[in-house]
Amino acid sequence: MPALRTLSGSLNQLATTTVGVWWRCLPRLLAIAVLGWAGYRVFTYLAAMAVDVSAWLSLFVLALGFVVNLSAIIIGLRTAGEELQIRQTVPLAEDDPRDNSISHLLSITLLPFLGIYAVFDVVTDAANQIQVNYWVLNGLTFERQVLSQLNPQAEGNSLWAIVGLIIGLYVARRLIELWFERTGLRPLGLLSALVEGCFMLIVVMSGRQLVVSIGKWVDDRAFRVWLDYPGWGLQHVFGLIGVDVGAWLDQVGALWWDSVWPGISAMVVEPMLWLALAALVFGNRVISAADLWRQGRPVTLKSRRAEVNVGERQRRLALEVQEAFFGDLNDKYLPTWQSLRLVLGVGASFFAAFVICYGVLVTGEDWLTRGMYWVLGGHPAAFWSMAGPFIDLISTAVGEPLRWALLATAFHTCLALFASRGGQPVPDEPDAVAAAAGAAPASEVTER
Amino acid sequence: MTARLRRWLVAIVACAAMVGLHAYSGEFPNEHVSRASVGTPAALYDATVTVNSYAIGQVLYNDTLFQGRSGVIYLAVNITIANPRGERSVNWQVGGEANGRTFAANDLLDMPQPGFRITQDVVFELDPADLAGFTVSFLHRATIYAYDPKIVVDLGITAERADELLAADRYATVTTVKATPEVIR
């Protein structure tokens, strides 16, 4: 069957190139992964220690941990990308204004990165980890809820103070970003990323509580019962023919939420979001690689404040206001969305091969961790507070370099497939990529 | 069917396979399971637990109280927990499992002080169909997250053995043993 042959070709190419890149970059990738892991761990412990001073300080330290983690991911992706010569593959103009510094990449990728982490509950897990580390450091106590200062509903906290803080951080971040754009001072890029990290963490942690409290408020209202009437009516109608539609829907709901959706989320949505983030790292400001290959030149967003050269004063003011309020949309969300469109538009065989490779990788990583736990056997919590980080280190050292190599290879393959479709010369770096373009027919690259 | 449609069909099947792999892997377990059989002591940290025997019946005589419900049977599992030197733990949990369902014990376990052992009955109320393949589990659950040790004891009740037991004792009265501490010499 040709479809299966194409899939097997894509799979073979993706797996062999990934392993090749991983092997050639292993020492560097390993060092980056270990340093990133160590930095993140140190900051999560420091965050637990800072809790006694202030939950806000703890949050700031945790944001530092996320910045270190993302820095490691960006450097790891770029290292793997250099091996594949991805930058050379993207045909940019000689005077391309892109700033490729880590601080700039951090400032544009941190928000989508934390967004992805928030979607997969990694931010909540990090907050829980602070609680566990606090117990490890100070002994088990239920008298004090760590990070309760961040809960707008907690006693003594003001909802409006937290809302004001969120708005204040947003404004501060935008101002620092503008300053960074004007001066190009790299420490400002890092500061902007840090403020952005704090902003996102507060939004996730406090916002979550707000959503819960809104839900509770709705549940306490009389009109909430009205929403149940259609369901009861349906149950009554089906009850007349002897069908317990409520039980049936419960079963379907349980199957969806307990088995199907977590699987789709972890095995399909997550890899595509990571690939979109990788695309952002390799090709920021590129609207669409399809456009890029079709026109033979990079298409960049042109609405940045620094590039506004309009004589009319009011128009300039309007554009500045637009930039202040919608700058995030242009700088971060739009490129992320376009990255996602790009990787989804490459074609079915590539998509399937990437999902399989990613799925096998995360499952292997999961089973490696399970295997280590199984070998060590059951122990008290004090033991795991010591052994757990080392197990995590081994798992990270094995899994992260492979993930970066896979993401770089997958993005490079995307470009190769678009190049073959646009009639451009296929990037000449690894032979396997040329094979990939052959394995997945250009016709399957969807029109955009 | 067009070639493009076929490729997307293969992609959907690949995604479904990955979702299936994820469901098969399941949640990360937070228990380390060790298996044991009836009559064999199994260690849970410093203590040991031994399943001595079991009995079934439709009427339960517990201290001075008779209990009975139609449609169910009582399974009384006689166990001994010995604690030669460790601290008295309050984190032990006992439960049962059969046919993919879990069962809670009727009462909490009595845990021995250091230097003592306690023999007692753990009673489960279950459907007769759940007797075959019934396992009893003992878990030491930490207060905060840990990878906790768990002992699963298979009572060794095959389908044939379950039929024999039900034929012989289904309507019997099960008399439970009161928790009795003994000094470990």
In the structure, what pLDDT confidence band is assigned to residue A416 with cuts at 50, 70 and 90? confident
Size of interface A-B (CB pairs under 8 A): 111
User: Closest to A267 (Cβ–Cβ): which among B7, B22, B45?
Assistant: B22
Given pLDDT bands bounded at 50, 70 and 90, which one contains residue A144? low
Answer yes or no: is pLDDT of A153 > 70.
no
Q: Does A324 touch chain B (CB under 8 A)?
A: no
> What is the pLDDT at residue A447?
36
Q: Is B108 helix (H, G, I), strand (E, B) or coil?
A: coil
User: Pick the residue with more confidence: A196 or A238?
Assistant: A238
Chain mean pLDDT for chain A: 77
What domain range is A327 assigned to?
Answer: 2-444
**Predicted local distance difference test score (pLDDT) of residue A58:** 86
Stretch (H or E) spanning B126: strand B116-126
- Ordered alpha helix ranges (H), B79-151: none
**pLDDT exceeding 90 applies to what percent of chain A?**
21
A252 in contact with chain B, both atoms CB, cutoff 8 A: no
- Whole-angstrom CA distances from A420 to A10, A423, B88 are 15, 5, 71
More confident call, A113 vs A395: A395
- The residue of chain B with its CA nearest to that of A379 is B148
Gap between the Cα atoms of A150 and B168, Å rounded:
63
The C-alpha atoms of residue A369 and residue A432 are separated, in whole angstroms, by: 32
Contacts of B25 in chain A (CB under 8 A): 363, 366-367
Mean pLDDT is lowest, of A299-308, B38-47, B173-182, for A299-308
Average pLDDT over residues A366-376: 94
Whether A401 shows a pLDDT value over 80: the answer reads yes
From chain B, the residues in CB contact with A260 under 8 A are 19, 23
Q: Which of A222-226, A442-446, B156-160 shows the lowest mean pLDDT across its residues? A: A442-446
In which band, very low, low, confident or very high, does the pLDDT at A327 lie, cut at 50, 70 and 90? low
pLDDT value at residue A50: 86
pLDDT band at A170 (very low <50, low <70, confident <90, very high): confident
Cβ distance of B22 and A3 shorter than 8 Å: no
Confidence of residue A422 (pLDDT cuts 50, 70, 90): low
| Confidence (pLDDT) at A87 | 74
Please answer yes or no on whether A363 and B21 come within 8 Å at the CB atom: yes
The pLDDT, as a whole number, for residue A331 is 58
Q: For residue A33, is pLDDT > 80?
A: yes
B45 to chain A: which residues are within 8 Å by CB?
380
Going by C-beta distance under 8 Å and a sequence separation of 6 or more, which residues neighbour residue A55? A146, A147, A148, A149, A150
Token readout for B104 is 């809670």
Instruction: Tell me the pLDDT band of B71, cut-offs 50, 70 and 90.
Output: confident
Chain A residues inside the 8 Å CB shell of B140: 378
**What distance in Å separates the CA atoms of residue B81 and residue B168, rounded to the nearest whole number?**
29
Number of folded domains that form chain A: 1
Amino acid at residue number A295? Q
Which of B10, B44, B91, B138 is the mutation pick for testing A, counting most A CBs within 10 A?
Answer: B10
Is the model's pLDDT at A294 over the cut of 70?
no
pLDDT, residue B126, reads 92
The pLDDT of residue B87: 77
Is residue B56 very low, low, confident or very high in pLDDT (cuts 50, 70, 90)? very high
Give me the pLDDT at residue A172, please: 86
- Asked if residue A443 has pLDDT above 70, the reply is no
Domains and CATH numbers, chain B: 30-183 (2.60.40.1240)
How are beta strands B173-175 and B59-62 bridged, if at all?
parallel
* Of A287-291, A330-334, A413-417, the least confident: A287-291
- Nearest-by-Cβ selection for A377 from B3, B7, B149: B149
**B144: nearest CA in chain A?**
A381
Whether A78 shows a pLDDT value over 60: the answer reads yes
pLDDT for the residue B85: 82
Q: Indicate the SS3 state at residue A279.
A: helix
Query: pLDDT-derived band of residue B104, with 50, 70 and 90 as boundaries?
Result: very high
B143 interaction partners in chain A (CB closer than 8 Å): 140, 381
Is residue A1 within 8 angstroms of chain B, CB to CB? yes
Shortest CA distance to A111 belongs to which of A43, A39, A174? Answer: A174
The answer on pLDDT for A318 being more than 80 is: no
Q: What is the pLDDT of residue A390?
A: 92
| Cβ–Cβ below 8 Å for A6 and B11 | no
Q: What is the pLDDT of residues A102-139, one digit of tens each?
A: 666 776 677 677 777 766 777 777 877 787 778 777 77
Q: What is the pLDDT of residue B26?
A: 84
Phi and psi, residue A95, nearest 5°: -100, 35
Region A316-329: mean pLDDT is: 56
- List phi, psi (to 5°) of B181: -80, 145
3-state helix, strand, coil in chain B (%, to 5): 20, 45, 35
Q: Which of A130-144, A179-193, A250-264 is predicted least confidently?
A: A130-144
Range A210-221 average pLDDT: 83
Out of A151-155, A225-229, A235-239, A341-345, least confident range:
A151-155
Q: What is the mean pLDDT of residues B84-92?
A: 81
User: Residue A145 has what pLDDT?
Assistant: 63
d(CA B158, CA B142): 33
- When pLDDT is averaged across residues A54-66 and rounded to a whole number, the result is 86
pLDDT of residue A90: 66
Between B72 and A436, the more confident residue is B72
Residue position matching structure tokens 């983030």: A277
| Lowest-confidence segment of A304-318, A381-395, B149-163 by average pLDDT | A304-318
Distances (CA, A) of A121 to A34, A109, A126, A136, A410: 23, 18, 9, 22, 25
Q: Are B74 and B124 spatial neighbours (Cβ–Cβ below 8 Å)?
A: yes
Burial (Cβ within 10 Å: 0-12, 13-18, ≥19) of residue A305: middle
pLDDT for the residue numbered A290: 43
pLDDT band at A397, cuts 50/70/90?
Answer: very high
pTM: 0.79
* Interchain contact, B147 vs A373, CB within 8 Å: yes
For the segment A402-422, the average pLDDT, to the nearest whole number, is 86
- The minimum CA-CA distance between A385 and chain B, rounded to whole Å, is 8
